[in-house]
Amino acid sequence: MNQNKNRPDVGRGEPFAFRLNRDPWKGEIFVCVTDNLCDNPACGCMELGMAIFAYPGEGEELKGPPVYTFVLDIKGRTLAPKYSASPESRNFAETFLDHCDRKRWGELEEAAVYLKEEALKKKRLLKGSSDSMAGQIVKLDEAKQSRNAPCPCGSGKKYKHCCGS
């Protein structure tokens, strides 16, 4: 019998439940929904949008807006600096990062690669679009990034022709 039958496949972008063992979240259960943020095949970024919901109960659907939202830079294992997040989300994200072990980082990296590949297959334009979870997770802080500046993902292209398109 497969004991992992009911476990989510985080590497395929499936939502997963987790706990943080640090105040003020100690004892609470959260559900993380991940989404791709970049569908540019030339871009080398590994950004993963994270929408954190309160655990609704076994078998129940997620309701309402996420409690916390942030973007992880999977390569740097940090918060992605070019996206804005509320101070509460930033504080939660820093605690989440502190609790990520090697296995969880591996799963998140797999999810980032898988979700980007799926977006490319479907030719979905995700960044900033309101119909995607990614568009709902974050707002691009364009005031910080000039469209003519080099793209922060390291592709060598102008921002407007890469991640800013």
User: Could you report the per-residue pLDDT of 113-148, keeping only the tens digit for each?
Assistant: 888 888 777 765 545 444 555 554 544 443 455 667
> What average pLDDT does range 44-71 have in this prediction?
87
Instruction: For residues 137 and 38, give the distance between their C-alpha atoms in angstroms, rounded to a whole number.
Output: 13
Q: Which is higher by pLDDT, 120 or 47? A: 47
Mean pLDDT of the chain: 77
Residue 134: what pLDDT? 52
Q: Is 70 helix (H, G, I), strand (E, B) or coil?
A: strand
Instruction: For residues 18 and 155, give the distance between their C-alpha atoms in angstroms, rounded to a whole number.
Output: 34
Residue 115: what pLDDT? 85
Q: Please provide the distance, in angstroms rounded to a whole number, between the alpha carbons at the two ends of the chain.
A: 48
User: Could you report the per-residue pLDDT of 13-38, keeping only the tens digit for each?
Assistant: 889 999 988 889 988 999 999 888 77
> What average pLDDT does range 63-86 have in this prediction?
85
Residue 3, pLDDT > 70, answer no
| Global pTM exceeds 0.85 | no
Residue 92: what pLDDT? 92
Beta-ladder partners of 47: 73
User: Could you report the per-residue pLDDT of 81-91, keeping only the tens digit for each?
Assistant: 777 778 898 89
Instruction: For residues 99 and 102, give the distance between their C-alpha atoms in angstroms, rounded to a whole number.
Output: 10
